[in-house]
Amino acid sequence: MDNGARCALIPGENKRSFLEINTDEIDKIDPVFFNDVKTATFKGLDLN
């Protein structure tokens, strides 16, 4: 976020851990969950 990130790619298996983050921080960034490398690549490149 300090460097201008607007979204974060987060593995689906880490959803539960993500919920422990302060809500003020969550409001600043759009979490994008993925379950495999191909999906992460497409989402990261905004091709989906």
Please report, for the chain, the start and end positions of each structural domain, with discontinuous segments joined by +.
7-44
Q: How many CA atoms lie within 13 A of 8 on its CB side?
A: 17
- Is the pTM of the predicted complex or chain greater than 0.85? no
User: In terms of Cα–Cα distance, which of 43, 48, 45, 27 is closest to 12?
Assistant: 43
pLDDT tens digit sequence for 13-29: 998 887 788 888 778 88
pLDDT at 48 exceeding the cut of 70: no
Q: Are 31 and 43 in contact (CB under 8 A)?
A: no
